């Protein structure tokens, strides 16, 4: 099976697609499921594929995302993409791992003490896919009792799997549009300068972390875009700031959101500028069920004794699997996929990042073994 998984992964790697529009990726997954004889349904604009195996009242769901990122690959791999997009977060591996698990589960379908749902999800990078799938009933018909997802880690050695009760932070993404009055750079007194206002808004927001969040709190506020103007001698009409706030604490996040909505119009008003705040994303914390975590870790010890499971997954990144973990008991883990040359390991989202393909067979076995073990413990009697 390893040769097939490597071939599938490399095929997917050459053709990354973005957001909720994954026609070729979705078709590839559908074709493989059809070859395996696994029934499926389509959701989310045709880009979400949901397979189902087994029989019974209890259902365990495995989830993998499939979308790529919008920049040119520089990995140097023979199978590198060349369309200005890249699978730089390993979602090609994720989809392949779930296809591998599907094949294993199909081979053992008669042994399943319940049903396994396979969620091939689009739109994780845009934080749209999980919510859309949930809204279209992916957790129903049959009702899903628990769910499990994994992410490959390009800087973690292949013998490790990491887990935690709060693996990923919540994120609130926002866009601030400041509207002033444009004019000639020689007569600023006749203008209302949105760039000047934007600078003061930026500085005021930084004080939220420095002066309103406890020093020990795990909180971050980043303005990643500040766009304004097109010429050095023109004061523009508008300026746009776009950023994110992240935290592991709901109360802290609520406070930051409230203060954002107080500070921005207040500062803008002081400089005679109109302000509009637009919510880009509002993703909750990924909160794992500790009992499910422990069940999976115990299963890993039986499945692959050489794996080192460490309780060390707690990062400021965010994941829309949070929408699923809010609704049902769920677990989210990290599987090592670092290449052998440590000096050439790059982080995910880097155009040079590469992944160790040993994660494919290992991940497929973990997915399939976890689903079967959960149904053995909680499924049909």
Tens-digit pLDDT profile for residues 254-299: 999 999 999 999 999 999 999 999 999 999 999 999 999 999 999 9
Cα end-to-end span (Å), the chain: 32
Region 349-366: mean pLDDT is: 98
Q: State the CATH architecture for 2-167+285-378.
A: 3-Layer(aba) Sandwich (3.40)
Per-residue pLDDT tens over the stretch 187-206: 999 999 999 999 999 999 99
Which residues make up the CATH 3.40.630.10 domain(s) of the chain? 2-167+285-378
Supply the pTM of this predicted model. 0.94
Tokens (6 digits) for 6: 């490597």
Q: Is 47 helix (H, G, I), strand (E, B) or coil?
A: coil
Say whether pLDDT at 215 is over 90: no
Instruction: Give the dihedral of Cα atoms 91, 365, 108, 48; nearest 10 deg.
Output: -10
Q: Is 378 annotated as a binding residue?
A: no
Beta carbons within 8 Å of 34's beta carbon, 6+ residues apart: none
Query: Are 153 and 299 a contacting pair, CB within 8 Å?
Result: no
pLDDT of residue 209: 95
Q: Is 151 annotated as a binding residue?
A: yes
Is 124 labeled as ligand-binding? Answer: no
**Residues 20-34: what's their mean pLDDT?**
99
- In the numeric block, the tokens 């207040």 are attached to 266
- 345 in helix, strand or coil? coil
Q: Tokens in use for 372?
A: 């079967």
Q: How many CB atoms lie within 10 A of CB 22?
A: 31
User: Is 84 a residue whose pLDDT tops 90?
Assistant: yes
The pLDDT of residue 380 is above 80: no
Cα 211 to the center of its chain, rounded Å: 30
pLDDT at 149: 99
Alpha carbon distance 218, 206 (integer Å): 15
Q: Which residue has the tokens 């730089």?
A: 88
Query: Does 108 count as an annotated binding residue?
Result: no
Q: Report the mean per-residue pLDDT for the chain.
A: 97
Residues 6+ away with beta carbon under 8 Å from 380? 55, 56, 57, 58, 113, 114
Which residue do the tokens 């493989």 mark? 32
Structure tokens that stand for 257 in this block: 């959101």
Contact 174, 279 (CB under 8 A): yes
Domain 170-283 -> CATH class: alpha beta
pLDDT reported for residue 49: 99
331, pLDDT greater than 70: yes
Nearest residue to 208 via CA among 279, 259, 261: 259
Q: Which residues of 133-164 are buried (b: 16+ CB within 10 A; e: fewer)?
A: bbebebbeebebbbbbbbbbbbebebebbbbb
Residue 100 has pLDDT above 70, yes or no: yes
352 near 339, Cβ under 8 Å? no
Using the structure block, give the residue that is written with the tokens 């010890």.
301
Whether 166 and 80 have beta carbons less than 8 Å apart is answered as no
Give phi and psi for 61, each to the nearest 5.
-110, 135
Every domain range in the chain assigned CATH 3.30.70.360? 170-283
pLDDT at 381 over 70: no
Kindly give, in sequence order, each residue whose CB lies less than 8 Å from that of residue 80, ignoring residues fewer than 6 positions away: 13, 14, 73, 86
Q: Is 91 annotated as a binding residue?
A: yes
Structure tokens at 86: 């890249």
Q: Rounded distance, CA 148 to CA 164, Å?
A: 13
């Amino acid at each position: 099976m390893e040769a097939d998984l490597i071939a599938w992964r490399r095929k997917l790697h050459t053709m990354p697609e973005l957001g909720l529009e994954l026609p070729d990726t979705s078709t590839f997954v559908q074709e493989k499921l059809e070859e395996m004889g696994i029934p499926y349904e389509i959701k989310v604009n045709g880009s979400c594929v949901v397979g189902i195996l087994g029989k019974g009242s209890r259902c365990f769901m495995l989830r993998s995302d499939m979308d790529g990122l919008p920049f040119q690959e520089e990995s140097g791999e023979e199978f590198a993409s060349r369309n200005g997009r890249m699978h730089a977060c390993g979602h090609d591996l994720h989809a392949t791992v779930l296809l591998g698990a599907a094949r294993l589960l199909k081979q053992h379908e008669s042994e399943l003490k319940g049903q396994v749902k396979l969620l091939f999800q689009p739109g994780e990078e845009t934080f749209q896919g999980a919510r859309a799938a949930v809204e279209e009933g992916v957790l129903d018909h049959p009702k899903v009792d628990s769910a499990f997802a994994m992410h490959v880690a390009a800087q973690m050695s292949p013998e490790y799997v990491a887990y935690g009760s709060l693996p990923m932070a919540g994120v609130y993404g926002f866009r601030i549009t400041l509207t002033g009055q444009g004019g000639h750079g020689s007569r600023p007194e006749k203008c209302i300068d949105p760039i000047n206002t934007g600078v003061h808004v930026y500085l005021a927001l930084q004080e939220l972390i420095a002066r309103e969040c406890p020093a020990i709190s795990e909180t971050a506020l980043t303005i990643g875009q500040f766009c304004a103007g097109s010429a050095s001698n023109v004061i523009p009409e508008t300026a746009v700031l776009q950023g994110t706030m992240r935290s592991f604490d709901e109360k802290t996040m609520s406070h930051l959101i409230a203060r954002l909505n107080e500070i921005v119009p207040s500062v803008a008003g002081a400089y005679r500028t109109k302000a509009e705040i637009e919510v880009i994303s509002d993703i909750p914390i990924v909160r794992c069920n500790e009992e499910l975590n422990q069940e999976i870790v115990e299963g890993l010890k039986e499945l692959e004794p050489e794996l080192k499971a460490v309780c060390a997954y707690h990062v400021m990144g965010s994941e829309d699997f949070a929408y699923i973990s809010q609704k049902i008991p769920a677990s989210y883990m990290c599987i090592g996929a670092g290449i052998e040359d440590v000096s050439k390991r790059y982080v995910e989202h880097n155009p040079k990042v590469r992944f160790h393909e040993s994660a494919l067979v290992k991940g497929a076995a973990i997915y399939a073994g976890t689903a079967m073990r959960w149904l053995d413990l909680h499924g049909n009697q």
